[in-house]
Amino acid sequence: MDFTLSEEQALFRDSVERTVADLFPFARRQAAVATEEGYREDDWRRLAGLGCMAAPFPEACGGLGGGPEELMLIAERFGRHLANLPFLASVVLGGHAVLFGGTEAQREAILPGVADGSVKLALAHGERRARFDLAPVSTVARAEDGGYVVSGRKDVVLYGRAADRLVVSARLPDGRDGGGGTGLLLVPGDAEGVGRSSYATHDGGRACNVLLDDVRVGTDALLGAGGDALDVLERVIDHGIAFLCADAAGSMWRVYETTLEYLKTRSQFGRTLGSFQALQHRMVDVYTSCELARSMVFEATLNLGADAATRSRAASAAKAAIGEAARGVCEEGVQLHGGVGMTMDVPVGHHLKRAMVMNATFGDARHHLARYARLGRAA
């Protein structure tokens, strides 16, 4: 595999780094997280102007013709600076559900708005009884009056309150292929019968539970040709996992750098903390974990275009390994900062919160170890 960035990718990475660093100094980030929405719309528009939302989409859909590598570069910058935005929800999950599951006409109608930041999407798929399994879907879309009537409940919809449209998974008893299956439907966020209960996540992000009470949509709301959309969902979630892993790797490197700087400047017993060999050894372990995470991110990202089994194995391997490594690195950062690390006045504790949420999103380490083993046996 070639891990070398092209000149254009390197310039894009540097531009994103400068912009995100300018938008998310710690105090300003904390003020944004404390707002009702959890982010600033001005920040969203500025990143859209930079091309972040357009980066992974084809030029025919208003994008810049990039792909997973550009998403990786963005995610790493977000993780380093603790950026909380609806990017994962709208661009990676909702946008790619339309990209992978929609018809050409649907992609060309919807994705330009996502690419320029004027339209926000959210993927409403999770249900209580399903936990991390994508297959069980109890939400139902029944055919009625030349359209669909959608009923059910979706939980932990990331930035669902901010979404203009929800990409909702539902069972199609009357599927166009005659056999039903799971479909993806575009539901306006303000449609009659849509109830959204928003709350803050542990890391300062936002999510909501969505109640769909006989929501009526047209037949054009169904993405693609109908039928079973589980393959599309799995592909979308694997992209989301790769994005989360890159975000976590960026967060880990920032914890390493800030902790190392702290140990070099903080003195105790007349010596800097960094001069104690035991702490040096611990920092070597942190550095090793960061390098491991970087390698796993490359592996997951570059396999997103592979066949389904290879893609999913790489995503699960990265999620299991980086999930545990990120929490370990951030816990070390908190401990090595001493008492101040236990407060919420320095970024290191917030990186730990981010790692904990990353671990729980799209499946924890145990789930992905089991998925990796299952995929390995199938191969």
Last residue of a domain, one of 101, 119, 137: 119
Identity (one letter) of the amino acid at 207? A
Structural domain contains residue 13:
yes
3-state secondary structure 362-377: CCCHHHHHHHHHHHHH
For residue 269, the model assigns a pLDDT of: 76
What's the rounded mean pLDDT across residues 297-312? Answer: 96
From CA 332, how far away is CA 327, in angstroms rounded? 9
Tokens of 343: 């407060």
Residue 1 pLDDT: 58
Same domain, 241 and 371: yes
Q: Quick one: pLDDT band at residue 341, thresholds 50, 70, 90?
A: confident
CA distance 273 to 281: 12
Chain-centroid distance, C-alpha 374: 24
Flag the least confident range among 11-20, 29-38, 225-234, 279-288: 225-234
Q: How big is the chain by its Cα radius of gyration, in Å?
A: 21
Report the alpha-carbon distance of residue 281 to residue 322 in Å, rounded. Answer: 21
* 323 and 309, same domain (yes or no): yes
Please indicate, yes or no, whether residues 61 and 168 belong to a single structural domain of this protein.
Answer: no
**Same domain? 288 vs 253:** yes
Q: Domain with 27 in it: what CATH number? A: 1.10.540.10
Say yes or no: 256 and 365 in one domain: yes
> 297 and 203 share a domain?
no
Asked, for residue 1, whether it belongs to a domain, the answer is no
Reference 201, options 230, 160, 239, 173; nearest CA is 160
> Residue 273 has what pLDDT?
80
pLDDT in tens, 3-44: 788 899 999 999 999 999 999 999 999 999 999 999 999 999
DSSP H or E stretch at residue 29: helix 26-33
Comparing CA positions, the residue from 359, 326, 119, 88 lying closest to residue 207 is 88
Do 267 and 295 have their domain in common?
A: yes
Domain count across the chain: 3
Contacts of 331 (CB under 8 A, 6+ apart): 352
User: Contact at 8 Å (CB) between 112 and 121?
Assistant: no
Q: pLDDT digits over 316-336, tens only?
A: 999 999 999 999 999 999 999
Check residue 180 and give its pLDDT: 60
Give the CATH number, domain containing residue 319: 1.20.140.10
CATH code, domain with 139: 2.40.110.10
What whole-number distance in Å separates Cα of residue 29 and Cα of residue 203?
Answer: 12
Residue that terminates a domain, selected from 70, 90, 119: 119
Structural domain harbouring 64? 7-119
d(CA 370, CA 63): 36
Domain for residue 334, yes or no? Answer: yes
Give me the pLDDT at residue 178, please.
42
Q: Are residues 80 and 160 in the same domain?
A: no
31 and 152 assigned to the same domain: no
> Both 98 and 130 in a single domain?
no
Using an 8 Å Cβ cutoff, are 113 and 120 in contact?
A: no
Please measure the distance between the N-terminal and C-terminal CA atoms of the chain and give it in whole angstroms: 22
Condensed to tens digits (0 to 9), the pLDDT of residues 173-200 reads 754 444 468 999 999 999 999 999 999 9
- Comparing 136-140, 308-312, 339-343, the range with the smallest average pLDDT is 339-343
**281 in a domain, yes or no?**
yes
Q: What is the pTM of this model?
A: 0.95
Is 365 found in the same domain as 250? yes
Distance, CA of 260 to CA of 204 (rounded, Å): 25
Token pair of 183, please?
Answer: 């479909």
Per-residue pLDDT, 186: 97
CA dihedral 45, 51, 56, 62 (to 10 degrees): 90
Note whether residue 175 is domain-resident. Answer: yes
Q: Are residues 189 and 142 in the same domain?
A: yes
Predicted confidence (pLDDT) per residue in 137-179, tens digit:
999 999 988 899 999 999 999 999 999 999 999 998 754 444 4
Name the residue type at position 357: V
177 in any annotated domain:
yes
205, 227, 249: which is the final residue of a domain? 227
Comparing 172 with 276, the larger pLDDT belongs to 172
In a domain, 16, yes or no: yes
Does any domain span residue 2? Answer: no
